Amino acid sequence: MGNQQLTLDLEKVARARELARSIALQVQQEIDQNTTVSIERTVARLFGIDGTNANGVPLPNVVVDQVAEAGQLQRGIAYWLANGAAALGKAPQQVAEACAQGLDLCSLGVQDPNRVAEIMETYTSQALQAIKEQRRVREEAVARLGMGPRPLKYVIVASGNIFEDVKQAQSAARHGADIIAVIRTTAQSLLDYVPYGTTTEGFGGTYATQANFKLMRQALDEVSEEVGRYIQLVNYCSGLCMPEIAAMGALERLDMMLNDAMYGILFRDINMDRTFADQYFSRMINAYAGIVINTGEDNYLTTADAFEQAHTVLASNFINEQLGLQAGLRNWQLGLGHAFELDPNTPNGLLYEIAMAQTIRQIFPEAPLKYMPPTKHMTGDIFLGHVQNAMFNLVSVLTGQSIHLLGMLTEAIHTPHLSDRILSIENAQYVMDNARDLGGEISFRPDGIIQKRSAEILDQTVEFLGDIAAKGLKRAISEGWFADIKRPVAGGKGSDGVISKGLDYVNPIMEEMRRELGSNSAGKGEER
Amino acid sequence: MNSQIIKPYGDSWGDGQVQLSFTLPLPAGPRAQEAAKRLAAQMGLDNVQVVHMKDLHGFTYFILYGSCRHSVDVSAIPELEAEEQPMDFEEINAFIQARIGRKLVVVGACTGTDAHTVGLDAIMNMKGYKGEYGLERYPMIEAVNLGSQVPNEVLLQKAVEVKADAVLVSQVVTQRDVHIQNLTQLVEMAEAEGLRPRLIMVVGGPRIDRALAAELGFDAGFGVGTTARDVAGFLAKEMARRLEGEVK
């Protein structure tokens, strides 16, 4: 870390950052106009609402849907819950349970505004205290146990059964993994609710539920003590329930969250307004909880060409950085993503990979960069695949990447077998230990391939960001500027869950977090 | 020695050398090693050597070599259809122009819960894969990519709407055989709605092959390493075959 092997044009870097800031501010203005059903369900969760009704519908959905159907959500669920709590003299959880039994929240009489404000303050304070306490526990454990050397080795478990996942995660940690991600079941991203309880069935992954989070965190706490380093837990703050998952992660002490500003739009066809609003609140919660986010630019290169489109990755890193900072995240929490995805038949491909990885490293010096392994060009040839992963491991350690997602030799074949994961950890340990300080020994020729490629990517990035700033991010996405995927501005899933904030809108959780984080931007409906 | 009867080849004819690796749910040690050897013997290997044994906390990973007792008589394999030279991009377009006389309409989707569009995009996107342009790039193909998590009924509706000649279904996630149920349902729905005879139905994915596709009622199945050219070539020939069949 901290090596400056490349000479970057710092004025261009500053220019790119300024353009990204103006792009992010444009988006932020629209974000501040809207709330969403998922933002409101998040507030309900943080007010302590948990469990399901008799039909298995989560209670946060029950209350938010009821108020939305009454056309009253523009005021914020916090108000209606507090008003209900004042009217019934009960806690929000009991109010929600009464709603599940048929209580009509919006038909209760208007209560004393001071009493309502007091209730909102009480439950906001309780929620924030609980999150702070988890943050304190993490900080204490990290201080006591320490973490593995960077790049941190990140592996995935994906059996579908949380109890199997726990065993595999502990096994991976014992063999050297530092970070465990529980891949979500296919299609959870498009559920407009968070399933409840522990789960043993999933497709290509395991449901993200609060109970599953708790179980895995406990298992990793155990194994952390055993191996003498703090093992981090990751899940996916993405899809239609972005901020709810953030709240669950904050309460159950996840350490990292996949949390991209544009991924849902591009790869899941989720509505733009929905995604932008949801990402803002989810990132604010992650910021508050001390969680490191991982962005998803690596995915662009699975659909677009890694050489031709390298600048779109860097441009998106700049935009994700600015949107993240606006939500209150600090630089150390920005796990900006990129990937080793060049066609292995590219002559000097390794040099281009080094150029990209080192450029991003130097532009975002404090960010814990997330580096993704080859996937698109992995074949059934597991032996060649193991070598591709070794090259990826080398570039990662050479350029000082922070969060290193381990490549599996069986990437193109099946979800990893137990032995695949261990072979992959061994590969990374070998390469990284052998080349540990190589980066500090190297400087690149000023007129060489790597230096020239770096300058080319930066030039293209500045130009691309200039074009986006002129056009607007939403229109740029609609014209397929990222990942070769076009998404219409008003289309996409979940658009019916976007609600314009009323003038009397309240979200005390967001207000208090924003106050403590010191992030900018307004939260009320626009004064017209 | 009859050269039609063959064995795996290590470094000399007939040595039968095979390498394999697997994990047993036993802690590493002499007992686990013996278990691995016995297992390999039952798989038909002689002179089994365990060259690597690694403890995975209660499990053991093995790499073994052995000499395969079995052989295969190649002369007993029935003639497979001749592997003809595939057409290239230009030839396929020219073929469609000449034999079909209009654009082929193809609708593609990752159906059911599958969110993985990598395979579908490799075949359909303009850009293509492995230096082969995707179907969108073919002047004589009208390609409609519906993306991921498309319900079977939506795929069929779209096929009717655009008067599709063919549907392409990509299935990447195969855990617990979810793809089998989903693919079976698609064929059943197409049959129930009377669409099956006029649609060329193709499935692709890492766990798909021709035999599985045929078993599930598809016209073709494409696995790992397939490019758009393979799919376009098949569609063009199959469509021509069907049209010419009708004329007779």
CATH number, residue A391: 3.20.20.440
Is B154's Cβ below 8 Å from some Cβ in A? no
Shared domain check, B167 and B107: yes
Distances (CA, A) of B144 to A344, A379, B107, B126: 30, 27, 5, 11
Structural domain count of chain B: 2
Q: Is residue A272 a contact partner of residue A296, using CB atoms and an 8 Å limit?
A: no
- C-alpha distance from B9 to closest chain A C-alpha (Å): 18
pLDDT confidence of residue B248: 46
If one compares B68 and A522, the residue with the highest pLDDT of the two is: B68
Share the mean pLDDT of chain A: 94
Neighbours of B82 (CB within 10 A): 5
Is A417's Cβ below 8 Å from some Cβ in B? yes
Kindly determine whether residue B127 and residue A190, on different chains, have CB atoms separated by under 8 Å: no
Neighbours of B247 (CB within 10 A): 5
- Asked which of A260-264, A282-286, A467-471 is least confident by mean pLDDT, the reply is A260-264
d(CA A250, CA A60): 17
pLDDT confidence of residue B175: 65
Kindly determine whether residue B176 and residue A160, on different chains, have CB atoms separated by under 8 Å: yes
pLDDT confidence of residue A523: 40
- C-alpha distance from A187 to closest chain B C-alpha (Å): 5
pLDDT at A14 over 90: yes
Q: How far is CA A316 from the centre of its chain?
A: 14
pLDDT at A82 over 60: yes
Question: Rg for chain A (alpha carbons), in Å?
Answer: 23
Kindly determine whether residue A379 and residue B147, on different chains, have CB atoms separated by under 8 Å: no
What are B220-238's pLDDT values in tens digits? 999 888 889 999 999 999 9
Share the mean pLDDT of chain B: 89
pLDDT confidence of residue B146: 86
pLDDT confidence of residue A485: 80
End-to-end CA distance of chain B: give it in Å, rounded. Answer: 51
Q: Is the peptide bond before A151 cis (omega within 30 degrees of 0)?
A: yes
| Mean local confidence (pLDDT), A369-381 | 92
Residues in chain B within 8 Å Cβ distance of A418: 23, 56, 59, 61
pLDDT at A7 over 60: yes
pLDDT at A415 over 80: no
pLDDT at A502 over 90: yes
If one compares B193 and A301, the residue with the highest pLDDT of the two is: B193
pLDDT confidence of residue A528: 33
DSSP per-residue letters across A184-212: PPTTGGG-SS---S-----SSS----HHH
Shared domain check, B165 and B61: no
Domain extent for B116: 89-247
pLDDT confidence of residue A416: 83
Catalytic-role residue among B37, B54, B127, B158:
B127
DSSP one-letter code for B43 = T
A290 backbone φψ class: left, alpha, beta (φ>0; ψ -120 to 50): left
- Asked which of A68-82, B2-16, B111-125 is least confident by mean pLDDT, the reply is B111-125
| Cβ neighbours of residue A479 closer than 8 Å, sequence gap 6 or more | A471, A486
In a domain, B147, yes or no: yes
Q: Is residue A113 a contact partner of residue A120, using CB atoms and an 8 Å limit?
A: no
Structural domain count of chain A: 1
- C-alpha distance from A333 to closest chain B C-alpha (Å): 28
Nearest CA to A303 out of A339, A352, A274, A336 is that of A339
Is A413's Cβ below 8 Å from some Cβ in B? yes
Residues in chain B within 8 Å Cβ distance of A202: 175
Residue A106: enclosing H or E segment and its boundaries?
none
- Asked which of A118-132, A507-521, B74-88, B175-189 is least confident by mean pLDDT, the reply is B74-88
Kindly determine whether residue A419 and residue B21, on different chains, have CB atoms separated by under 8 Å: yes
Give the pLDDT band (50/70/90) at residue B80: low
In a domain, B79, yes or no: no
Nearest CA to A256 out of A182, A326, A349 is that of A182
Shared domain check, B196 and B116: yes
| Mean local confidence (pLDDT), A25-53 | 97
Please give the residue of chain A at the shortest CA–CA distance from B151. A187
pLDDT at A522 over 50: no
Shared domain check, B240 and B130: yes
In a domain, B81, yes or no: no
Strand partners for B17: B67
- Report the CATH number that the domain containing residue B12 is assigned in CATH: 3.30.30.60
pLDDT confidence of residue A526: 38
| Mean local confidence (pLDDT), A91-106 | 97
Residues in chain B within 8 Å Cβ distance of A175: 56-57
- C-alpha distance from A126 to closest chain B C-alpha (Å): 38
In a domain, B80, yes or no: no
| Mean local confidence (pLDDT), A477-482 | 90
pLDDT confidence of residue A249: 98
Probe site for chain A from B56, B116, B170, B226 (most A CB atoms < 10 A): B56
- How many Cα atoms sit within 13 Å of A491 on the Cβ side? 10
pLDDT at A350 over 70: yes
Exposure class string for B155-167: b at 16+ Cβ within 10 A, else e = bbebbeeeebbbb
Instruction: Give A515: exposed, middle or buried? Use CB within 10 Å, 0-12, 13-18, 19+.
Output: exposed
In a domain, B83, yes or no: no
If one compares B86 and A133, the residue with the highest pLDDT of the two is: A133
pLDDT confidence of residue A80: 98
Shared domain check, B134 and B178: yes
pLDDT confidence of residue B117: 73
pLDDT confidence of residue B182: 87
Domain extent for A220: 149-433
What are A206-225's pLDDT values in tens digits? 999 999 999 999 999 999 99
Kindly determine whether residue B127 and residue A380, on different chains, have CB atoms separated by under 8 Å: no
pLDDT confidence of residue A376: 86
Which residues of A are part of the catalytic machinery? Answer: 263, 298, 370
Shared domain check, B17 and B121: no
Domain termination residue (choose one: B41, B74, B107): B74
